[in-house]
Amino acid sequence: MGGSVRGMVSGIVMEKGSKIYVAGHRGLVGAALVRALQRQGYENLLLRTHKELDLTRQADVENFFQTEKPEFVYLAAAKVGGIHANNTYPADFISINLQIQTNVIDAAYKSGVKKLMFLGSSCIYPKEAPQPIQEESLLTGPLETTNEWYAIAKIAGIKMCQAYRLQYSFDAISAMPTNMYGPHDNFHPENSHVLPALIRRFHEAKKANAKEVVVWGTGAAYREFLHCDDLADAALFLMKNYSDLSHVNVGSGKEITIKELAELVKEVVGFEGELQWDSSKPDGTIRKLMDSSKLAALGWESKIPFKQGLIDAYKWYVENYDA
């Protein structure tokens, strides 16, 4: 069905036996997608590690699609990282992400995939976008400079899905999640996002019996978080219930200050020391809330309470990182 259909279902049904390819199945989002699909009884999953299939290699990707013939594709593979990583490796962030998306979307269309979902990020929006951020804010102003390379690649992915829908009637849709967290997150000391970084820092301070933990900024900035299992649930919902040109925001609709976040992580981890704020360091964007009313109108909302999700994320960290 082409782009003229507004928010309609395309009539394409993802059967329990359908062949489903999850690109990036070892990452935060991809692993959650695999869990959600298996929970709902989808067993015919195509999974390839980076070693088995390098998505930046066009010929390899085309060969995979022509040989395996997946019917549905979740494109969750990407090079991701925090501010430090984005500033340090801008060429990697734009080139690798553009290559992955272009190869997968094009090969999916050419091999006869029935439907594809492209997963992006809330960083696609202008730095000064009105809050809460609506889908219509895309390309209305300059991006946040610290991650514009990644953002531009993701915007190109949205536009590529739209272009293939308009020109070829290829059923490609895009979902833009807010800040994600949960099992399989990246807890790297330099390259991770704020929440996993705090979990790691408080845990290490607890183990070392440290007197205090220093956190950047004033703690006044607001952030919205969504558990990766909630996103996966939304992604499956959209695959079944949405077919249109526009991308869809996926958020929890709830905000928390970085100060409240740090206090909550401290409590969940069980760190007994003091919390100090280094106000000489930047706060980043003061507010970044997504408007997820479009998704809510379709009939989906997040279910995992934030504290429960944090307990879950911390448990996974201890079991998998604390070696």
- Residue 173 contacts residue 118 (beta carbons within 8 Å): yes
- Residue 212 contacts residue 276 (beta carbons within 8 Å): yes
Query: Is residue 209 a part of any domain in this protein?
Result: no
Q: Residue 169 is part of which domain span?
A: 20-181+226-251+290-304
**Whether residue 207 has pLDDT greater than 90:** yes
Rounded CA gap, 269 and 198, in Å?
A: 10
Rounded CA gap, 224 and 20, in Å?
A: 30
How many domains, the chain?
Answer: 1
**Region of residue 256 (left: phi > 0; alpha: psi -120 to 50; beta: else):** beta
- pLDDT at 323 (0 to 100): 66
Query: Is residue 61 a part of any domain in this protein?
Result: yes
Task: Give catalytic residues, as residue numbers.
Answer: 150
Dig out the tokens for 206 from the structure.
């607890």
Domain of 52: which CATH number?
Answer: 3.40.50.720
Query: Is residue 120 a part of any domain in this protein?
Result: yes
224-251: per-residue pLDDT in tens? 999 999 999 999 999 999 999 999 999 9
Query: Is residue 260 a part of any domain in this protein?
Result: no
Rounded CA gap, 55 and 21, in Å?
A: 13
**Whether residue 2 has pLDDT greater than 70:** no
- Residue 3 contacts residue 245 (beta carbons within 8 Å): yes
Query: Is residue 158 a part of any domain in this protein?
Result: yes
Query: Is residue 203 a part of any domain in this protein?
Result: no
Rounded CA gap, 30 and 17, in Å?
A: 19
Cis-peptide into 305, omega within 30 deg: no
Dig out the tokens for 164 from the structure.
């293939």
Query: Is residue 6 a part of any domain in this protein?
Result: no
- pLDDT at 1 (0 to 100): 35
Dig out the tokens for 47 from the structure.
């999974």
Task: Name the band, by pLDDT with cuts 50, 70 and 90, for residue 154.
Answer: very high
DSSP assignment, residue 37?
H
Query: Is residue 100 a part of any domain in this protein?
Result: yes
**Whether residue 72 has pLDDT greater than 90:** yes
- Residue 77 contacts residue 100 (beta carbons within 8 Å): yes
